Amino acid sequence: MKRLLPLVLLLGCATPKPGQPPDIAFGRQECARCGMIVSEERFAAGYVADDGEAMAFDDLGELLAAVEERPELRDRAWARDLHGSGWLRLADARLVRVAGLTTPMGTGWVAFAKPADAEAFVQARARR
């Protein structure tokens, strides 16, 4: 039993808490909404449930649909920055929806950390 205690303590520390970004097993974890494997980090989104489970979404649009159904999730929701800077609180992210943009579920929603990045992305897409 003494040998198991450090392992139990270590595992307890590794579990994300509500309010922290989810720890998604990219390439292995299923989307909480559609069941597809979450594999493209730049389009991923999620939240940490009350029990500490990471709820993953393969497409930001699916997380937004979940938040629309359950508004209390908004404060614990996170999105990945399209430019790769990591997790962004959904409330702080600059969200952009672009028709015709290929995302895992075809919603066209992406997130950016900086307003200038979001604006540049929209302008670049408009020139196409």
Encode the chain (128 residues) as per-residue pLDDT tens digits: 555 444 444 444 456 666 789 999 999 999 999 999 999 999 999 999 888 889 999 999 999 999 999 999 999 999 999 999 899 999 999 999 998 899 999 999 999 999 999 999 999 998 87
Whether 33 is in a domain gets the answer yes
Q: Is 9 part of any domain?
A: no
Answer yes or no: is 64 within a domain: yes
Burial 81-99 (b: 16+ CB within 10 A, else e): bbbeeebbebeebbebeee
The DSSP annotation for 29-98 comes to PBPTTT--B---GGG-EEEE-TTS-EEEESSHHHHHHHHHH-GGGGGGEEEEBTTS--EEETTTSEEEE-
Q: What is the pLDDT of residue 58?
A: 98
Range of the domain at 57: 16-126
Token digits of residue 93: 């992210």
Its pTM stands at 0.84
Answer yes or no: are the C-beta atoms of 43 and 60 closer than 8 Å.
yes
Q: Answer yes or no: is 5 within a domain.
A: no
Number of domains in the chain: 1
Cβ atoms of 67 and 90 closer than 8 Å: yes
Residue 4 maps to a domain: no
Does residue 8 form part of some domain? no
Residue 61 in domain: yes
Question: Is 1 a domain residue?
Answer: no
The answer to whether the CB of 94 falls within 8 A of the CB of 118 is: yes
What is the pLDDT at residue 46?
98
Total Cβ atoms within 10 A of residue 2: 5
pLDDT of residue 7: 42
Specify the pLDDT at position 66.
96
